[in-house]
Amino acid sequence: MPETIPKAIPETIPVPIAETIPETVGASLAALGISRRALLKYATRLATLMALEPLAAPAMAEALARAKRQSVIWLSFQECTGCTESLTRSFSPTLEDMIFNLISLDYHETLMAVSGAAAEAARLSAMEANRGQYIVVVDGSVSTRDGGVYSAGAGKTHLDILRETVSGARAVIAVGTCASFGGIPRARPDPTGAAAVAEIVTTKPVVNIPGCPPIPEAMAGTIAYLITFGKLPPLDDKNRPLSFFGDTIHDRCYRRPFYDRGLFAKSFDDEGARNGWCLYELGCKGPVTYNACATVKWNGGLSFPIQSGHGCLGCSEPGFWDRGGFYTPLPARTFEGGAVPAAAAAAGVAAGLGSAWLTRRRRQKAAEEMRAAETQDGKPQEQKETLP
C-alpha cells in the first residue's frame, strides 16, 4: 500500500460539460429518427414486463416523451462487469437500446470515452448540475474492511465514493447480486469485507435488482418505471421489484408437471434428463430462488438454465455462493408454505443424495481413467463417460 495516495482531481482541470441535456426524451428520439410509434412499442413491452395495466402503454409513452433525459451516474465497485454486459448486449438491441435514449449516462467507467481525472470531474459536475435529481446505479459490492482500502479508485476508497455520490441522488439502484447482497466477493473468507449497497446507504431509497447477472429487461424495466412514474415500483422484503422477483423459478417453471409427478433426472444426460424431466435431484435451487428467468428468460426469451438442462444456481438470492454445492439437492424442509408433495420431496431427497454421490463418484472415476490413459501413451484417450 503506498503511503501517500495521489490527489485525485487537480483544480486546474477544466470541468467538462455534463449538465442535464435540456431536451426532452421525445426531442432526442426525433433527432435520432426514432418515431413515437417505436416509443409506444417500447412502452407496451415495458407494460408487459412490469405487469402493468395494458392500456397504460400510451400514457407511459407520452410521459417518457415529455420527460427530460434522466441523469444517471453508474458506479462500479467489486464487480466483474457482467451486469453492464448483460444490459448492453441485449438481444433485441433496437428496443433495449431505448433505455440509453431515456437516460443521460453521465458517468460509467467502462462505457465512457474519457478516463482518469476528466472522468472524475465529469462525475462531480453531473452530481452538482443535477443535485437531487440524478439516479445512482451501482454494480459490485463495496469493500469495508480496514476502511475499505481493498477496493478503491481515483485515490478514494469506493466506500467514500459511494457515500459522496449518493448524497445528492434521487434514488439508488443496486444491480447484480454483488451490489444487492455482497455477491461473490463476499464468499468465505470474505477478505475485503464486501458489503451490499443497502448496508451502507440508509438515507436514500435503494432498489435491488439481483442476479448474476440480472436479466437485462429487469434492469431496463425498473429504470424506465422510475423515469416514467417518478417513484419506485412495488418491492418485496429484499427491495426487489415484485414484477420480476415476485415468483420463484419453481412457481413458473415449465418442468413443474414432472416435479409434481416425481419424474426426476438422476444424472446429467441420462434418459430423464434427455426427456426434460425435473432437475431437482441435480441440485436445482428453483424452489427457493426469486427471479424472472422462467418467464422472461434470457437472450430475448430464448432459453434459461433449466430449459438448457442445468439446475438453477439461485444466483439472485443472498448467500447463494456459500450454500453448499450447486449439485446438492435441496432438503424438503427449505420449502416455505409451498404445496410440495411430501412423497416426491422425500423421494427426491433420498434419491438426490444418492445421485449426488453417484455423480461425484462417476466424476472421480472418469478423472482417474483419464489420468491412467494419459500415462499409458502420453496422450489423453477418448472419454467413455460424459463428464457433467
Residues binding other proteins (CB under 8 A): 26, 30, 35-38, 40-42, 44-45, 47-48, 51, 54-55, 57-58, 65, 91-95, 98, 254, 257-258, 261, 263, 275-276, 297, 300-303, 307
Q: Residue 337 gets which letter from DSSP?
A: S
CA distances from 245 to 107, 141, 218, 238, 357 (A): 28, 20, 9, 10, 33
Give the integer Cα–Cα distance in Å for 286 and 158. 34
- Nine-digit cell at 76? 462500479
Rounded to the nearest whole angstrom, what is the least distance from the CB of residue 134 to other proteins in the complex?
A: 26
Rounded to the nearest whole angstrom, what is the least distance from the CB of residue 302 to other proteins in the complex?
A: 5
Beta carbon nearer to other proteins, 60 or 209: 60
Rounded to the nearest whole angstrom, what is the least distance from the CB of residue 206 to other proteins in the complex?
A: 27
Beta carbon nearer to other proteins, 147 or 257: 257
- Nine-digit cell at 242? 415484485
Rounded to the nearest whole angstrom, what is the least distance from the CB of residue 138 to other proteins in the complex?
A: 28
Residue (of 260, 235, 138) closest to 194 by Cα position: 138
Contacts of 257 (CB under 8 A, 6+ apart): none
Give the integer Cα–Cα distance in Å for 310 and 331. 18
Beta carbon nearer to other proteins, 42 or 134: 42
Beta carbon nearer to other proteins, 91 or 357: 91
CA distances from 4 to 11, 29, 148 (A): 19, 47, 16
Provide the H-helix boundaries in the chain: 25-31, 36-49, 56-66, 82-88, 93-96, 98-102, 116-129, 158-166, 176-181, 197-200, 216-229, 242-245, 249-252, 256-260, 271-274, 342-377
User: DSSP labels for 97-166?
Assistant: THHHHHEEEEEETTT-S--HHHHHHHHHHHHHHTTTTEEEEEESBEE-GGGGTTSEETTEEHHHHHHHHH
**29 contacts 67 by C-beta, under 8 angstroms:** no
Beta carbon nearer to other proteins, 92 or 125: 92
Rounded to the nearest whole angstrom, what is the least distance from the CB of residue 243 to other proteins in the complex?
A: 10
Rounded to the nearest whole angstrom, what is the least distance from the CB of residue 36 to other proteins in the complex?
A: 3
Rounded to the nearest whole angstrom, what is the least distance from the CB of residue 7 to other proteins in the complex?
A: 46
Beta carbon nearer to other proteins, 24 or 125: 24
Beta carbon nearer to other proteins, 50 or 194: 50
Q: If residue 170 lies in a helix (H) or strand (E), which one and from where to where? A: strand 169-175
- Nine-digit cell at 30? 426525433
Residue (of 344, 314, 319, 322) closest to 332 by Cα position: 344
Q: If residue 173 lies in a helix (H) or strand (E), which one and from where to where? A: strand 169-175
Rounded to the nearest whole angstrom, what is the least distance from the CB of residue 316 to other proteins in the complex?
A: 20
Beta carbon nearer to other proteins, 254 or 357: 254
Rounded to the nearest whole angstrom, what is the least distance from the CB of residue 32 to other proteins in the complex?
A: 12
Rounded to the nearest whole angstrom, what is the least distance from the CB of residue 261 to other proteins in the complex?
A: 7
**223 contacts 103 by C-beta, under 8 angstroms:** yes
Beta carbon nearer to other proteins, 182 or 286: 286
